[in-house]
Structure 1
Amino acid sequence: MAADYLIVGSGLSALVFGALMANAGKEVHILESHEYPGGFGHTFTMANKYTFNAQLHYVWDCGEGNTVNRVLKRLGLDQEITFERYDPNGFDHMRMPGHSLNIPSDAATLVRRLVQQFPDHQTAIQNFIDEVQTVRAGLKILSPPVQPLELLQHLSKVTTTVRYVGSTLQDVFDKFKLPLQAQTLLALQWPDFLLPPNQLSFYAWAILFTAYQEGAFYPTQHFEAVINALVNVINDNGGKVLCDQEVVNFLVTDKTVNGVQAIDRHTHATHDFTADTIICNMDPKKAAKMIGMEKFSKAVQKKLDYDYSPSNFMAYCVVKDLDLRDYGFGKWNTFHTEEPDLNAAFERMYRHNDFSKPSFAITTPTLLTDAERDCPDDCQIIEFLTVANYNYFRELQQQSRKLYTQKKEEILNQILDIVEAQYVPNLRDHLVFKITGSPTTNERFCNCPSGNSYGSSLTPKNMGPGRLDHRSSLKNFYFCNASSGYPGFAPTFWTGALLYQRLSDDVILGKG
C-alpha cells in the first residue's frame, strides 16, 4: 500500500514537513542515502568519544512565538527541545587588524560602538542601520504567504525594500559611504553565507544579521537531539525513516511522479517506493535532471537554472586540559580576518586557493551549553570554518590523495598560526584530535552537488522574485529544500512548515 507522502532526503526541511504530516495522521516514508538522517544537521562521532555536528553552529528564530518554537509546540516538543541564547551583548565577535567589534542585539548599542571607532561617519552609520531595519521589516511583510492588506498598511517599508531586490551588500555599503573597516566589521560573518559583500544579496545579509540580533541560539541538548526528536515523531506516528537508501530513479508517467527506485547501500538490492505525493528534499536541479528537465514547465526550468553556493573548509578540533574561556571564547562566535578587504580575502582564498591571509570563523560548541555530550570532561571542542573551491579540491583529490591531505593540513596550520599568535598561544600543545573536511567531504556525506553548502548561491539573482519555490509543475511532486526555500536551521524549519501549511491548510506560521 502506498504511503501518503514519500520524502526523498532527510534534511531539516524534510524532517519538519514529515513530522508535521505524521503528527497530523498521515503516513510518511523518508528515504535517506546517508547512514544518518539530518543532512547538514546530522551528528557524527570520531575516535568513539568526540561528537561533532556536520555543519550547523548558531541558529535564530527560536524564541517564543517564532518559527522554530511554533513548529516544536505543534509537535509537542517545545519542552524537550530548548535553546540556549548567545550573549546579547556580543553574540558575534568581529576581529581584524586594528579594529574589533562585538555585535550586540540592541541596534542603538551597535551604532554607538561603531561611531566610537568611526566618529566622522556617525550619520552614515546611523542611516545604514536604519535602512537595514526598514528592509528587514519589509521582507517580513513580503514573506509568503503574502497578505495584500498588510502590504497596503506598510507600503512605505515595502517600497523601500523592493528597491534593493538586485543589490549586493557592497552596493548598499557604497550607497551609504561606510568606511572600509566599518564594512568589514559588519560583514565579517561572511562565512555564514560563504560569499563576500560584492556578491552577497543585501536581502540575505539583512535577514540573517537582524535575525541574530533578535536572538542567536544553540540547542540545549545539541543538534543531534533536534534531529532525533523529529525522527521520533515520524516513527511514533507510524512513519518510517529509512537510511542507506540511495534514490537512483524517479517513477514518472507522463508528467506525474508516482514514486522512486532506490538501492539499499547494504544489500545492493533495488526497491520501488510509491506514494500519493512525492516530496523532493534532494537538490532540485539534480532531481530534475534525473526526471528529465524537459518534463518541467519552461518557468520552472528557468528557476532551476541557479548557481550553486560555494563550499567550505571545516576543521573539527579537540583540546585537552585547556579552558577556552580563559582566552576570550564563550557564548559567542568569533570571526577573524587578516585582510581588511573581505572581497579581496574571498578572491584570494576561493579563486587562488591562497590561505596565507585567511578570513575564517571560530566556534566553540562545548561552551554554549552545559548539557552532556560525547566529549570527555577535560576536553573542549573548537571548530574553524572558511570558504573552499570545490573544483580545486576535487581535482587535487583525483590527482593525489597525499596532495589533497597536505592542502587541508596547510589551511588548518595557517589558521592555527593566527589563533596561536592572537588568541591561544599554546593551542597546538593541547590538541588531542583534529579532522578536516573539504568540499568533496560535503559532496560525499551530504550528497550536495559541487559540495555546495547552501544550495543555490545567495546572490541577488538567486534571492529575487525568480527564486524556485515548492511548485515543480509536475503532478504529485513538490520541492522542499534549501534551494526551493532558504538555507539554514530556522529557514529550513520555515520551508518545511510552509509546505505542510500549503498542503494541509493547517496554519501554524501565523499567516493564513
Structure 2
Amino acid sequence: MGTDYLIVGSGLSALVFGALMAQAGKRVEILEAHEHPGGFGHTFTMAKKYRFNAQLHYVWDCGEGNTVNRVLQRLGLDRTVTFERYDPQGFDHMRMPGYKLDVPGEMELLIQRLSQQCPEGTQEIRQFLHTVQQVRQGLKCLSPPIRPQLLLQNFGAVLTAIRYLNSTLQEVFDRFNLPKPAQTLLALQWPDFLLPPEQLSFYAWVILFTGYQEGAFYPTRHFEHVINSLVQVIQSHGGTVHLNQEVQAFILDGKTVKGARVVDRLTHQSQEYYGDTVICNLDPKKAAQMIGLEKFTPQVQRRLDYDYSPSNYMAYCVVKDLDLRDYGFGAWNVFHTEDPDLNQAFRRMYEQHDFSRPSFAITTPTLLTSAERDCPEDCQIIEFLTVANYDYFHQLQQTDKQAYHRKKEAILETILDIMERQYIPNLRKHIVFKITGSPTTNERFCWCPQGNSYGSSLTPRNMGLGRLNHQTSLNHFYFCNASSGYPGFAATFWTGAILYQRLSGDPILTTA
C-alpha cells in the first residue's frame, strides 16, 4: 500500500511541501539518504559541543506577510519559528582596499553612501539603483502565478524588467557606466551566488540584493530549529521521514512514476516505497538520468540541460576568550576582497586555484541571536566562505589526499593572515576548533552532484524563460528542488509552497 505523496529527498522545499500536505490531511512519506533531514539546511555537531549549519548564513523574505512568514503562519509555526533582523543600517559590510560600504536597507541612504565613496559617479549610481528598483518591481509582477491586473498596473516596471532578461550584472554595470569601485562594492556579496558579475544573471542579483534590503534575517533558534519544526509538523500529522534511505531507482509503469527503490545505508537492505504522487527533491538532472532521459519530452529534456552552479570552500572556526564584537563584527556579514576586480578574483580562485588574493565572506552566527547557543558560553563561531572548483578538489582528493588536505589548510591560513592583518590581531591564538569543507565535502554530505551549491548555475541562460519548473512530463511525478524552483532559504520555501498550491488548489501565497 502506498502513500498519497512519496517525497524523495528532504531538502527545505520538500519539507515545506510535505508539511503543508500533511497538515492538509494527506499521507506523506519522505525518503532521505542522509542521517539528517534538511539538505543544505541541515546542522551538524562537532566535538560534541559546536554546532554548524552546512550552508545557510542569512535569509530574506521572512518579514510579516512575506513568503516564509505566510507559510509558517499556515503551519502554526510563526510564533515558535521566529527570526532576528540584521542591522538595517548595514546588514552587509563591504570591505576592499581603500573603500568601505555598509549596505543599508533604505535605497536612498545606499545611494548617498555609495556616492560618498564614488562622488564622480553620483548620477550613474542613482540611475542604476533606480533601475534596480524598477526591475525588482517588474520581477515581482512576473513571478508565478501571474496576475494580468498586476501586470497592467505596473506595466512600466514590467517592461524594464523584460529589457534585462538575458543580461549579466556586469553588462548592466557597463551600460550605466558605473565607477569600478561602485561596481565592486555592490557586487561584493558575490559569494551568495558563487558567480562573478560577468557571469551572474542580473535578475538573480536584483532579487537577492533587494530582498536583503527589505530585511535580512537569522533564525532566533538557528536553522536546526526551522528544519526540526517542519519535520515535527509532518510527523504530528501522521507523516514519516525515513533517514539513511538512498534511492537506487524509480519504479515506473510506462510513463507513470509509481515509487522508488531504496537501500538502507545502515542495514544495506533494499525496500520499495510507493505513492499516488511522487515528488522529486533530488537534483532533477540526476533523477532524470536514473529514470532515463528518453522518457521525458524534448522540451523537458532541454530544460534539464543546465549547468551546475560552482561549489564552495567553507571554514568553520571557534574562538575562545575573544569577543568578536570588539573587532567590528555583529548583526551583519562582512565581505572582503583583496582584489578590487571581482571577475579577475573569481577566475584566479576558480580557474587557476590560486587563493593568494582571495575574496571571501565572513559570518558570525553566535552574534546573531542570544536565544540559543551554538557553542559554549566562553566561545564564539566565525565562518569563512569562498568559491572552489569541484573538478580540481575531486582530482586532488582522488590522487593525493595529503595534498588535498594541505590545500584546504593553505586557503584557511591565507584568510587568517588577512584577518589578523586587517581585522583581529592574534586571531589564531584564540582558535580552539577549526574544520574546513571543500566541494567534495558538499557532494559527500549534502548529496549534490559535483558539489554544486545552488543547483543550476545562476547565469542568464539558466534564469531565463527556459528554466526548469515542477513539470516533468511524466504522470504523477513532479520536481521540487532548487533547480526546478529557485535556490536559497526563502526561495525554497516559495518553491515548496507554490507546488503545494498548484497540486492542492489551496491559495496559500496568492488569491489568484
State the TM-score, normalized to the length of structure 2: 1.00
Cross-structure match for 2:111: 111
What letter matches 1:320 in structure 2?
A: K
SS of residue paired to 1:491: helix
What letter matches 2:77 in structure 1?
A: L
What letter matches 1:257 in structure 2?
A: V
1:4 lines up with 2:4 in the alignment:
yes
Q: Identity over aligned residues, as a percent?
A: 71
Cross-structure match for 1:408: 408
> 1:365: how far off?
0.0
SS of residue paired to 1:131: helix
Cα RMSD, aligned residues only: 0.5
What letter matches 1:261 in structure 2?
A: R
1:481/1:358 CA distance change after superposition, 3 Å: same
Cross-structure match for 1:338: 338
Cross-structure match for 1:95: 95
Write the deviation string for residues 120-139 of structure 1: whole angstroms up to 9, x where unpaired: 11110000000000000000
> 1:432: how far off?
0.2
Cross-structure match for 2:422: 422
Cross-structure match for 2:248: 248
1:132 lines up with 2:132 in the alignment:
yes
1:193 lines up with 2:193 in the alignment:
yes
What are the equivalent positions in structure 2 for 1:2-401 lying under 5 Å apart?
A: 2-401=2-401
What letter matches 2:65 in structure 1?
A: G
Q: Which deviates the most, 502-511 or 79-88?
A: 502-511
Write the deviation string for residues 444-476 of structure 1: whole angstroms up to 9, x where unpaired: 011100000000000000000100000000000
Runs of 4+ in structure 1 over 3 Å off: none
CA distance in structure 1 between the aligned counterparts of 2:119 and 2:441, rounded to whole angstroms: 45
* Paired residues of 1:184 and 1:340 also in contact (CA < 8 A): yes
* Paired residues of 2:366 and 2:374 also in contact (CA < 8 A): no
SS of residue paired to 1:59: coil
> 1:510: how far off?
2.2
> 1:373: how far off?
2.6
CA distance in structure 2 between the aligned counterparts of 1:422 and 1:120, rounded to whole angstroms: 28
Write the deviation string for residues 243-265 of structure 1: whole angstroms up to 9, x where unpaired: 00000100011111000000001
> 1:143: how far off?
0.2
* Paired residues of 2:220 and 2:372 also in contact (CA < 8 A): no
What letter matches 1:222 in structure 2?
A: H
* Paired residues of 2:320 and 2:380 also in contact (CA < 8 A): yes
SS of residue paired to 2:419: helix
What letter matches 2:79 in structure 1?
A: Q
Write the deviation string for residues 362-381 of structure 1: whole angstroms up to 9, x where unpaired: 00000000022341100000
* Paired residues of 1:362 and 1:382 also in contact (CA < 8 A): yes
What letter matches 1:133 in structure 2?
A: Q
> 1:235: how far off?
0.4
* Paired residues of 1:196 and 1:343 also in contact (CA < 8 A): yes
SS of residue paired to 1:158: helix
CA distance in structure 2 between the aligned counterparts of 1:295 and 1:203, rounded to whole angstroms: 32
SS of residue paired to 1:60: coil
CA distance in structure 1 between the aligned counterparts of 2:255 and 2:148, rounded to whole angstroms: 33
CA distance in structure 2 between the aligned counterparts of 1:212 and 1:10, rounded to whole angstroms: 26
> 1:511: how far off?
4.2
Write the deviation string for residues 131-151 of structure 1: whole angstroms up to 9, x where unpaired: 000000000000000012211
Write the deviation string for residues 369-424 of structure 1: whole angstroms up to 9, x where unpaired: 00223411000000000000000000000011100000000000011100010000
CA distance in structure 1 between the aligned counterparts of 2:342 and 2:372, rounded to whole angstroms: 37
CA distance in structure 2 between the aligned counterparts of 1:199 and 1:374, rounded to whole angstroms: 36
* Paired residues of 1:34 and 1:446 also in contact (CA < 8 A): yes
CA distance in structure 1 between the aligned counterparts of 2:321 and 2:235, rounded to whole angstroms: 41
CA distance in structure 1 between the aligned counterparts of 2:25 and 2:74, rounded to whole angstroms: 13
SS of residue paired to 1:392: helix
What letter matches 2:206 in structure 1?
A: A
> 1:24: how far off?
0.3
What letter matches 2:263 in structure 1?
A: I
How many residue pairs are counted as aligned between the two chains? 512
What letter matches 2:453 in structure 1?
A: S
* Paired residues of 1:145 and 1:511 also in contact (CA < 8 A): no
Q: Which deviates the most, 241-250 or 367-376?
A: 367-376
CA distance in structure 2 between the aligned counterparts of 1:271 and 1:72, rounded to whole angstroms: 33
* Paired residues of 1:41 and 1:55 also in contact (CA < 8 A): yes
* Paired residues of 1:333 and 1:362 also in contact (CA < 8 A): yes
CA distance in structure 1 between the aligned counterparts of 2:51 and 2:218, rounded to whole angstroms: 16
SS of residue paired to 1:212: helix
* Paired residues of 2:310 and 2:457 also in contact (CA < 8 A): yes
* Paired residues of 1:6 and 1:277 also in contact (CA < 8 A): yes
Write the deviation string for residues 285-333 of structure 1: whole angstroms up to 9, x where unpaired: 0000000000000000000000000000000000000000000000000
> 1:19: how far off?
0.2
> 1:154: how far off?
1.5
CA distance in structure 1 between the aligned counterparts of 2:401 and 2:168, rounded to whole angstroms: 38
Unaligned runs of 5+ in 1: none
Write the deviation string for residues 175-206 of structure 1: whole angstroms up to 9, x where unpaired: 00011111000000000000000000000000
CA distance in structure 2 between the aligned counterparts of 1:115 and 1:200, rounded to whole angstroms: 24
